[in-house]
Amino acid sequence: MQPILIVQGGAGDITDSRVPGKLTGIKNSIRIGIKILENGGSALDAVEQAVRSMELDENFNTGYGACLNTDGVAEVEASIMEGKNLKAGCVTLLHDIMHPISVARKVMEKTNHTFIGGEQAMNFARSQNFEVLPQGSLVTENAKLALEEFKESQAKGLDTIFSPTELDKKSVGELGETVGAVAIDVNGNIAVATSTGGITGKIPGRIGDTPILGCGTYADNEIGGVSTTGHGETIMRYNLAQRILQGIALKGVSSQKATEDTIKEMTQRLIGTAGAITIDKKGDVGIYFSSKRMAWAYTQGNQLIYGINPGEILKEDL
């Protein structure tokens, strides 16, 4: 089977000035991941490494550069899943850990559990020799600025995060630029990895869609894999990843149609915006977002195919 990797760098109201950084980062991520698959590596390794590169890059909302909660802390969360045995690992409420996706993988591989959160997840990370960085190491100037702007808008009575209404539509679209990767390897194994800092100005302890299976991440070799991004409160209420896969499994539609139709239906019903990347068991890809922008990329032969604006498909040599 021809291996495929697709990555996304977050759906949201990405300003023009942030576009070049997102595109450079997404191309870097896909190049790292596809090399693993082309050398016969596993889908699991490819998605983990693709996401790790975005966790290191401040252009993305996870790891270094993650959104801040109201206390100014970057609380990060992640999930990883492999579609052969439906094994998964999820973590939430980690702080000062650069690679939440790798902690999630350790939960999957080294424990009898699927989801660990909070200070016990920090202890688990320590037990697996993850470095706990000095307090505040993931916090960037841009993230601090975004929190200041959020607090100013709240002071003006514009709190829009938790209960979007028609009037709030634009603000909701600015939130939740989670990153993710979906791959199918030469053996037909599918894996998905998703990692995030959540949303700016979240209440400390708030958990989003990203570490929740069926919402932020899902992989099943018998159907496909999905990684989602966008407004977590909306995505988790809609079970977005699972609904996209059910579109493929039950309606028999293509990855693209299932991804597009499901996101459109979600935004129509719940207003919040999102994006998703999908690969079905045949290796067909689906990409869609209802937000203003979402950086995405995949490869075909020696071509890198990518975009960030609605309807945009750009190509260059890998």
**Residue 214 interacting with ligand GLY (CB under 6 A):** no
Q: Is there binding between residue 176 and ligand GLY (CB under 6 A)?
A: yes
Under DSSP, is residue 47 helix (H, G, I), strand (E, B) or coil?
Answer: helix
275 binds ligand GLY (CB under 6 A): no
Q: Are 87 and 110 in contact (CB under 8 A)?
A: no
Binding status of residue 208 toward ligand GLY by CB under 6 A: yes
Token pair for 262: 């499901």
User: With respect to ligand GLY, which residue has the nearer C-beta, 14 or 37?
Assistant: 14
Give yes or no for residue 210 binding ligand GLY (CB under 6 A): yes
Of 178, 200, 217, 228, catalytic? 178
Q: How far is the CB of 281 from ligand GLY (least distance, A)?
A: 25
The DSSP call for residue 302 is T
Helix (H, G, I), strand (E, B) or coil at 56: coil
Q: Is 230 in the site for ligand GLY (CB under 6 A)?
A: yes
Minimal distance, residue 63 CB to ligand GLY, in Å = 14
DSSP 133: P
- 288 and 6 in contact (C-beta within 8 Å)? no
Query: How far apart are CB 258 and ligand GLY at their closest, in Å?
Result: 19
Q: Which one, 210 or 290, has the nearer CB to ligand GLY?
A: 210
Q: How far apart are CA 179 and CA 7, in angstroms?
A: 8
- Picking from 97, 139, 137, the residue whose alpha carbon sits closest to that of residue 118 is 97
How many other C-beta atoms lie within 10 A of the C-beta of residue 15? 10
How does strand 190-196 pair with strand 293-300?
Answer: unpaired
Q: Is residue 232 a contact residue for ligand GLY (CB under 6 A)? A: yes
- Beta carbons of 231 and 267 less than 8 angstroms apart: no
Q: Which candidate, 192, 272, 212, places its Cα nearest to that of 6?
A: 192
Stretch that binds ligand GLY, among 78-86, 127-135, 203-211, 292-300 (CB under 6 A): 203-211
Q: Does 196 bind ligand GLY (CB under 6 A)?
A: yes
* DSSP letter (8 states) at residue 17: G
178 assigned to active site: yes
Of the pair 221, 273, the CB lying nearest ligand GLY is at 273
Is residue 5 at the binding interface for ligand GLY, with CB under 6 A as the rule? no
Interface size with ligand GLY, residues (CB under 6 A): 12
Q: With binding defined as CB under 6 A, does residue 63 bind ligand GLY?
A: no
- Residue 189 interacting with ligand GLY (CB under 6 A): no
Residue in 96, 209, 260, 280 binding ligand GLY, rule: CB under 6 A: 209
Rg of the chain taking only CA atoms, in angstroms: 18
Catalytically active residues, by annotation: 178
